[in-house]
Amino acid sequence: QRATVLLHPDFRVGQIDRRVFGSFVEHLGRAVYTGIYEPGHETADEHGFRRDVADLTRELGVTMARYPGGNFVSNYNWEDGVGPVEERKPFIDLAWRTIEPNTIGTDEFLQWAEREGIEPMMAVNLGTRGVAAAAALVEYCNGEAGSRWADLRIANGREKPYGVRLWCLGNEMDGPWQIGHKTADEYGKLAAEAGKAMKLVDPTIELVACGSSSMQMDTFGEWERTVLEHTWDVVDHISMHAYYEELDGDRASFLGSGTAMDRFIRRVVSSADAVGARRRSDKAITISFDEWNVWYLQSRFVGEKNLPLQKDAPRIIEDVYSALDAVVVGDLLVTLLNHADRVPVACLAQLVNVIAPIMTEPDGPAWRQPTFHPFAATARLARGTALDLRVTAPTVTTKQHGDVPLVTAAATLDGTEGAVFLVNRSAEPVEVDLSHPGVALTLARGVQVTADHEAAVEGPDHAARTIAEHVAEVDAPVTAAEPGRTTLTLAPESWLA
Ligand code: AHR
C-alpha cells in the first residue's frame, strides 16, 4: 500500500502554542495523594512532593497543568484548601465519593507548578457555587496587596501574585453526572456573569467556557451555540473533552480515533464560527481541548454512581495502557497539531495514576506507561509552525467512523528544521512518498511505536517490557532519499516521529 504526503514551507496551519502539551491534575483517586504528592516517600522534596514524579513530568514535556478538576471542582470550596494545613477540614467529594483531606490546595499546587516550570490552568466551581467565589479565587491568586482575598494569600505566606492566566468556567456542566448540572441557558448566563466578574478582577486572564463533555452528548452543537451566545463577549476559548477506547474488539475504529477527533474539532469550530457569523463578529473563539486520552471508560470503569465512599486516595481509574493505546495517543497528537490555528490549549487527561502516562506505587517506584512516549517525543520535536499538509492515502471503512484514511500525518517547521509525525493505521506496511521541497527533515533517527496484540497487564514490569518491545529509537525506515523527497516504509499499526 502507498500514501503520499506533501509539505511545503509556505503552506502553514499556524504557530504551535506550547500550551497544547498540557496535562491535568485532579483531586481524583491517586493523582494528587501518592501521585504528585507523598511526604515520606524517599524522593519527596521539602514540600512533600515526589521528585521522581516531577522528573518524569519534565521528561514528558508537560507545559501546563489543569487543576483541581474535573468533576471534583463542581463541589469544591477553594477556601477550605488554603491557610494552615492543621486547621483545614476534610469534606466528602461528591464527584468521586472520596473523603478529601484538603492537605493540598491552591497554594501547594500553584507553588509545585511554579517550581516545576509548568503553567497552571485553574478551574472555578460553577456547579454548587457562583460569581462571588469565582471572582474571589482570581483575586486570591492574582491580586496585589490591599484587598481582602489577595491579603489572605499574603497572610498564608505568598506575597507575589501567581499570575494564573488560564481559567476554566466550571467543568462538563452539560453532563447529568455533574454536581450542579445545568441547561445550556442556565450555564451560559452564569458563565457570562462569573467570567465578567473574574475579568474585572484581572483583565489579563483568558477564559474557557464549557463545551460538550463529548460529541455523543444529545445536546452537542446546540449546547455550544447557546453557551457562546451568552458568553461571546467574555470568553476566549470553548472546551472540548474526548476519550477513545477499543470496544468489542473493533480495532479499526479504535485506530481511527484521530479522525473522530478531527471531525469533532471541525464541528465545534463550525458551531463557534456560526455564532460569530450571526453576530457579525470577527472574533475567533479557539479551543481548549482540556481533556483527551484513551480511557476504557465504557468497558472497564464501573461508573461514578457505583463508587463506594472511600478515603485515603483510593485506586480509581488506573487504566493500564498497551502499545496499541500509545499508537492511538500519537495519532490524537497528530490531529491536535493539524489544528494548531484553532487549538492552542490541550490537556492529556491526566498526569499521574488516573488514566495517566505516569504511574506510581505508594512508597514505591514511578514509571512510564507506553502512552508516555508519543507524547514526550511530540512535545520535544514539534516546534515552531504546524504545516498544512496534503495527504493521499487508502481508506478503510470502520463501524464507528465510516471511512477513515489509513495514513495520517502532521509536520512542523522551526526555521529550516522540519519534523514529521506519521501514523500507519493499517495492519500492513505502507510506503510513504514524502515531498518536502525546501525543508530539511531530521529523519535519520526517529521514535517509533508499534502496536501490540496483547491486552495490557498491571504493573511496572509489564509496562517496561511493552515499552522495550514496542517503543524504540530507530533509524528512520527510509528506502530512498533525494533533496526535497524521501520515501519510507511505515511498519504496520505504527506511529513514527
Ligand atoms: O478525567 C476524568 C474525568 O473525566 C473528569 O473528572 C471529568 O471532567 C471527565 O468526565
What CATH number is given to the structural domain containing 176?
A: 3.20.20.80
- Which protein residue has the closest C-alpha to ligand 1 atom 2? 70
Mean pLDDT across the stretch 174-188?
97
pLDDT of residue 8: 93
Same domain for 88 and 128?
yes
Q: How buried is 229 (Cβ within 10 angstroms: 0-12 exposed, 13-18 middle, 19+ buried)?
A: middle
Residue 353 Cβ inside 6 Å of ligand 1? The answer reads: no
- Which protein residue has the closest C-alpha to ligand 1 atom 5? 70
On whether residue 303 sits in a domain, the answer given is yes
> Which of 382, 404, 426 represents a domain boundary (last residue)?
382
Which structural domain, as residue segments, surrounds residue 295? Answer: 17-382
Same domain for 359 and 410?
no
72, three cell numbers: 471534583
Dihedral sign (CA 482, 484, 489, 491):
positive
Assess whether pLDDT exceeds 90 at residue 475: no
User: What is the distance in A from the centroid of ligand 1 to the CA of 69?
Assistant: 7
On whether residue 9 sits in a domain, the answer given is no
How high is the ipTM of this complex?
0.99
Residue 71 Cβ inside 6 Å of ligand 1? The answer reads: yes
Strands 206-209 and 166-169: parallel
Rounded CA-CA distance 494/449 in Å is 5
pLDDT of residue 75: 97
Q: Phi/psi of residue 422, each to 5°?
A: -130, 145
User: What is the distance in A from the centroid of ligand 1 to the CA of 17?
Assistant: 24
User: Which of 26, 97, 215, 350 is the pocket-test mutation for ligand 1 (most atoms within 8 Å of CB)?
Assistant: 26
- Which ligand 1 atom lies nearest to the CA of residue 72? 6
pLDDT of residue 301: 86
On whether residue 105 sits in a domain, the answer given is yes
On whether residue 6 sits in a domain, the answer given is no
Same domain for 422 and 284?
no
Query: Which positions are annotated as active-site residues?
Result: 172, 291
Same domain for 331 and 397?
no
Assess whether pLDDT exceeds 90 at residue 488: yes
Q: 442: pLDDT confidence band, cut at 50, 70 and 90?
A: low
Assess whether pLDDT exceeds 90 at residue 420: yes
* Tens digit of each residue's pLDDT (9 = 90 or more) over 338-397: 999 999 999 999 999 999 999 999 999 999 999 999 999 999 999 999 999 999 999 999
Cell 496587596 belongs to residue: 145
Q: Phi/psi of residue 496, each to 5°?
A: -140, 135
- Element (H or E) spanning 66, and its range? strand 64-67
% of the chain beyond a pLDDT of 90 = 91
443, 423 in Cβ contact below 8 A? no
Same domain for 45 and 186?
yes
Same domain for 124 and 37?
yes
Burial letters 318-355, b for 16+ CB under 10 A, else e: bbbbbbbbbbbbbbbbbbbbbbbbbbbbbbbbbbbbbb
On whether residue 11 sits in a domain, the answer given is no
> Which of 363, 382, 401 represents a domain boundary (last residue)?
382
User: What is the distance in A from the centroid of ligand 1 to the CA of 389?
Assistant: 33
- Which ligand 1 atom lies nearest to the CA of residue 177? 10
User: What is the distance in A from the centroid of ligand 1 to the CA of 252?
Assistant: 25
Same domain for 314 and 398?
no
* Tens digit of each residue's pLDDT (9 = 90 or more) over 396-409: 999 999 999 999 99
Nearest by Cα to 390 from 1, 16, 15, 8: 8
Assess whether pLDDT exceeds 90 at residue 299: no
Q: 456: pLDDT confidence band, cut at 50, 70 and 90?
A: confident
On whether residue 74 sits in a domain, the answer given is yes
299, three cell numbers: 468497558
- Which protein residue has the closest C-alpha to ligand 1 atom 4? 70
- Which protein residue has the closest C-alpha to ligand 1 atom 7? 70
Rounded CA-CA distance 106/122 in Å is 9
Same domain for 329 and 433?
no
User: What is the distance in A from the centroid of ligand 1 to the CA of 492?
Assistant: 32
* Tens digit of each residue's pLDDT (9 = 90 or more) over 29-77: 999 999 999 999 999 999 999 999 999 999 999 999 999 999 999 999 9
Same domain for 324 and 412?
no
pLDDT of residue 40: 96
pLDDT of residue 367: 97
**Nearest-5° angle of CA 272, CA 276, CA 278?**
115
Per-chain mean pLDDT for the chain: 96
- Which ligand 1 atom lies nearest to the CA of residue 24? 1
Q: Domain holding 440: CATH number?
A: 2.60.40.1180
Same domain for 198 and 332?
yes
On whether residue 316 sits in a domain, the answer given is yes
On whether residue 224 sits in a domain, the answer given is yes
- Which protein residue has the closest C-alpha to ligand 1 atom 9? 70
Same domain for 84 and 146?
yes
- Which ligand 1 atom lies nearest to the CA of residue 95? 6
Same domain for 64 and 168?
yes
Residue 174 Cβ inside 6 Å of ligand 1? The answer reads: no
Residue 70 Cβ inside 6 Å of ligand 1? The answer reads: yes
Residue 290 Cβ inside 6 Å of ligand 1? The answer reads: no
The total domain count for the chain is 2
User: What is the distance in A from the centroid of ligand 1 to the CA of 141?
Assistant: 24
User: What is the distance in A from the centroid of ligand 1 to the CA of 71?
Assistant: 6
Residue 69 Cβ inside 6 Å of ligand 1? The answer reads: yes
Q: 444: pLDDT confidence band, cut at 50, 70 and 90?
A: low
> Which of 356, 382, 408 represents a domain boundary (last residue)?
382
Residue 93 Cβ inside 6 Å of ligand 1? The answer reads: no
Assess whether pLDDT exceeds 90 at residue 19: yes
- Which protein residue has the closest C-alpha to ligand 1 atom 3? 70
pLDDT of residue 455: 83
